[in-house]
A and B are shown apart, each in its own frame.
Chain A
Amino acid sequence: MKVKFGRSLAIAITIGTGLLVLANFFVRNEFLRRVQQTLLDWALILAAVALLLGAVNVVATHLRKIRGRRPGWVYSLFLLAALGTVVLLGFLDPRGVASPAVSWVFLYVHVPLQATIFALTAFFIASAAYRAFRVRSVDSFIMLVAGIIVLLGQVPLGQAIWDRIAAAKDWILAYPSTGGARGIILGVALGTILTGLRVLLGIDRPHVK
């Protein structure tokens, strides 16, 4: 009985808050606008708490790994050390994220790591390109031609091969590529609206078990 009430309450909260926030998109009303703003502020606070919960989960997972001496536990030690150092540096200085120590870690540790990990994907994209662009059908041929024109249109080598390639790239990006992308965006938007309506009408209840 208790569980059933809890589920009903959760569904009522979802529908109630959802409709209140959604109403502000359709009705110009000062009271509704203030209600939406308050609900958004609360949601931001909860999202921040959810993020902290995620961080606690990361710490707990790696602590379990270290305690159990599971494979790769030494790396977990470094992960926790890095996490703890950044958090400690941030809390020791009232400026927090803007403190020089945290900025130093961000600039000289986080940024180069992130940039190099993304740069590394250039190599894997090259091997993926070989697999994706192998001409096996009309579809892959079209993708290959579009990809090569857009790629070569951005580098001097392309200009050396064909002087109109930059114009061809611009045309592809401005018309057929935009058309395809717009169709995808419209499809995604329609899908989002339908899924959202199903949740707000209580048909889908992903959060209630």
Chain B
Amino acid sequence: MSDVSNLIGIWVSALLTVMVLSYLLGDNPLYRLAEHLFVGTAVGYAVLVAYYSLLRPRLILPLLQAPLENWTLVVPLLLALLLLARLNHSWRGAGMAPLAFLLGVGVALALGGALFGSLLPQVEGTMLSVNPADGGWGVAVGNLVLVIGTVSALAYFYFTGQGDTGWGRLRAGFLKAWRGLGKWFIMVTFGAIFASTVMARLSLLIGRLQFLITEIPKTLR
């Protein structure tokens, strides 16, 4: 990019930054304009990514260049047309098939991902040694805290277990105690996540202010 386009770019981004920051004074037309420009560019960019990264290389070009070799792509093409038919109210029902397809694939991926990407690795990661001989007392106590935290936080999401019999009441009381402990661990997690989010957002704010303070004077030299 040339120096002139860079210069214009820096001024445009500075102007947009100030327009967004003007929201601190209250809702105003400048902020709303910036907000709408943001949505406009985001949607436009998403359209281009969808076309150039997915539709063109995976559907349009293979069908145009070698239609006989890629005849199976007729299926997603047909499903895509049915999906587009949802734009017309009288054809809305036709869009059920591509949605059903997307849901089937999406649910299977989510299920497989949850099982092999979350559940099993997290369970494996929780099987930690609490023997001080393995890594010292600090690590052993820490691991014990981690295991208790995991089990109790999981128990917090266990909503059944009430009972009328003596054994049932004992079980319910035990679960209630675990749930209480789990709630505290979840609170620690929320506090840590909140603090990390505050730091991330502050870093962004410092970055934007630094941009305004350092880049604009450079363009005036």
User: Within 8 Å CB of A121, what residues of B?
Assistant: 201
Interface residues of B in 153-174 (CB under 8 A from A): 153-157
Q: Please, how many angstroms separate the alpha-carbon atoms of A179 and B149 in the complex? A: 4
Known A-B contacts A15-B104, A86-B41; the reply to A112 vs B17 at CB < 8 A is: yes
What's the Cα separation between A60 and B106 when bound, in Å? 28
Give bound CA distance, A174 to B199, whole Å.
18
In the complex, the answer to whether B194 meets A132 with C-beta atoms within 8 Å is yes
Residues of B within 8 A of A135 (CB): none
* B83 engages A206 (CB within 8 Å): no
Q: Which residue of A lies closest to B40 (CB)?
A: A82
A38-B72, A143-B191, A183-B182 are contacts. A48–B50 as well, Cβ < 8 Å? Answer: yes
User: With A122-B198, A142-B191, A180-B150 given, can you name 13 additional A-B contacts, CB distance below 8 Å?
Assistant: A21-B112, A42-B76, A96-B52, A111-B13, A115-B207, A122-B204, A125-B194, A138-B184, A139-B184, A142-B188, A183-B156, A186-B119, A192-B110
The residues of A that contact B189 with a CB separation of less than 8 Å are: 146, 176-177, 179-181, 184
A173–B97 alpha-carbon span in the complex (Å)? 46
Produce 1/0 per residue, A68-112, CB < 8 A to B.
000010011011111111110011000011001011111111111
Most chain B CB within a 10 A radius of its CB, from A43, A80, A121, A192: A43
Do B93 and A87 have beta carbons less than 8 Å apart?
no
Q: Which residues of B contact A (CB under 8 A)?
A: 1, 5, 8-10, 12-14, 16-17, 20-21, 23-24, 32-56, 58-59, 72-73, 75-76, 79-80, 83-84, 86-87, 93, 96-116, 118-119, 122-123, 125-126, 142-143, 145-157, 182-199, 201-202, 204-205, 207-208, 211
Contact B122 A13 (CB under 8 A): no
Q: B20: nearest residue on chain A (CB-CB)? A: A116
Q: Whole-angstrom distance from the CB of B153 to the nearest CB of chain A?
A: 2
Main secondary structure on B side of the interface with A: helix
- Nearest CB in chain B: distance from A37 CB, A: 11
Q: Are A82 and B186 in contact (CB under 8 A)?
A: no
Docked Cα-Cα span, A186 to B124, in Å, equals 12
Q: Which residues of A contact B118 (CB under 8 A)?
A: 185-186, 188-189, 192
Which residues of chain A from 1 to 55 have any CB-CB distance to chain B below 8 Å in the complex? Answer: 3, 6-7, 9-11, 13-22, 24-25, 38-55
Chain B residues near A11 (CB-CB < 8 A): 100
B144 to chain A, nearest CB (A): 9
Q: Flag A113-143 by CB within 8 Å of B: 1 or 0 each.
A: 1111111111101100100100000111011
Tell me the bound Cα distance from A96 to B50 in angstroms: 11
Would A109 and B12 count as touching, CB distance under 8 A? yes
Q: Which residues of B contact A109 (CB under 8 A)?
A: 12-13, 16, 37, 41
The answer on a CB contact under 8 Å between A41 and B187 is: no
Q: A109-B37, A184-B189 are in contact. Are A154 and B199 (CB under 8 A)?
A: yes
| Chain B positions within 8 Å of A44 at CB level | 54, 58
CB of A63 closer than 8 Å to a CB of B: no
